[in-house]
Amino acid sequence: MKETLLHMLKANENEYVSGQDISNVLNCSRTAIWKHVSDLRAAGYEIEAVQKKGYRLLRSPDAVTSEEIMLRLETERLGRKIHYYPSLKSTQEMAHHEAAKADEEGMLVVADEQTGGRGRLGRSWHSPSGTGIWMSLILKPRIPLQKAPQLTLLTAVAVVRAIEKKTGLAADIKWPNDILLNGKKIVGILTELQAEADQIHSVIIGMGMNINQKLEHFQEDIRSIATSLHIESGKEFVRADLIAAVMLEIEELYDIYLKDGFGLIKLLWESRALSLGRRITARSLNGTVKGLAKGITDDGVLLLEDDEGRVHSIYSADIEI
């Protein structure tokens, strides 16, 4: 109901919407409308109320609530069910919990702030409120376990395309799942599975996107390697716009993937990949390999040719370019 009210106010931004019209559409009393308006104000919306004229929306906050995302969402399946939290330890952890209960795919868990955000390789992910996008999407593809990394690559392509469409900025992908702008990390993707034997139950795709942070929002030790859309462009972005765009891009690519396989996604990924054809260093728990990044396999594994001409299959590593 609150979502419909917001929709009415936004559709008539800077104009008054009469209490009568609202109560006809929402089929509720004037008192109930007042209560919804108070809730929206508490969430940061500036709404003017004038007797005999009605309500007028003056300003919306840069919120990542389900209302703000839903207003912009153009997908059919993904993100149609959103669980929003003002503050949460980790959307990834919550999505794991939800995925175990849900039969359908597409649920999105979003938080304005994470107090225990998780990164790859056991690292933490700094997620202050009001600045970035911290979200986890639940998918339930019927694919073999070893193909799951393809979805990380698919997500990276989708995120790069969404950023380009919404901001005009051209980001690059660093294998497997870092997205860089001007050589600094702007997005991290963490893909986790719920599976049994060779059967995938859920793929949980966590995305951490640095959007409106200023330099001082980043801890000193990562200032030289991390950045935000704001730092790189000097502009501020509406986070819900970007979330809706990412969902749309993932859905479009995911539909292609389910229908035709990984072929096109692989080509798209390769066209954005920063590391291919270059000499790189891959550091993993199994050691360090230096060499030429030759390409990726159909399962998303990185092929690295060392100076002796041996080709190594890299499944998980930190890459230095």
Where does this chain bind ligand BTN (CB under 6 A)?
Answer: 90-92, 114, 117-120, 123, 125, 127, 134-136, 178, 188-190, 206-208
- 206 known ligand binder: no
Q: How far is the CB of 25 from ligand BTN (least distance, A)?
A: 35
Residue with tokens 């993904």: 78
Q: Which is nearer to ligand BTN, 149 or 291 (CB)?
A: 149
CA distance 262 to 102: 26
Angle ∠(230,234,235) on CA atoms, nearest 5? 70
Tell me the C-alpha distance between 212 and 227, whole Å: 10
92 annotated ligand-binding residue: no
- Is 118 one of the annotated binding-site residues? yes
Locate 267 and state its tokens.
């080509």
Instruction: Give min distance, CB of 81 to ligand BTN, in A.
Output: 17
Residue 33 or 229 having the CB closest to ligand BTN: 229
Rounded distance between C-alpha atoms, residue 132 and residue 91, angstroms:
13
- The minimum distance between CB 316 and ligand BTN, in angstroms, equals 12
CA dist 91 and 18 (Å) reads: 39
By beta-carbon proximity to ligand BTN, the closer residue of 6 and 207 is 207
Q: Name the one residue in this structure whose structure tokens are 């993707």.
A: 189
The DSSP element (H or E) to which 38 belongs, if any, is helix 30-42
Of residues 111 and 280, the one with the C-beta less far from ligand BTN: 111
Q: Is 10 annotated as a binding residue?
A: no
275's tokens: 């590391």
CA distance 243 to 122: 25
CB of 124 to ligand BTN, least distance (A): 8
Q: Is 150 annotated as a binding residue?
A: no
Encoding tokens for residue 216? 């001082």
Rounded CA separation 180/230 (Å): 14
Least Å distance between CB 59 and ligand BTN? 28
Q: In the complex with ligand BTN, which residue's Cβ is closer, 161 or 174?
A: 174
Residue showing the smallest CB distance to ligand BTN in the complex: 188
Annotated binding site for biotin: 114, 118-120, 185
Annotated binding site: 114, 118-120, 185
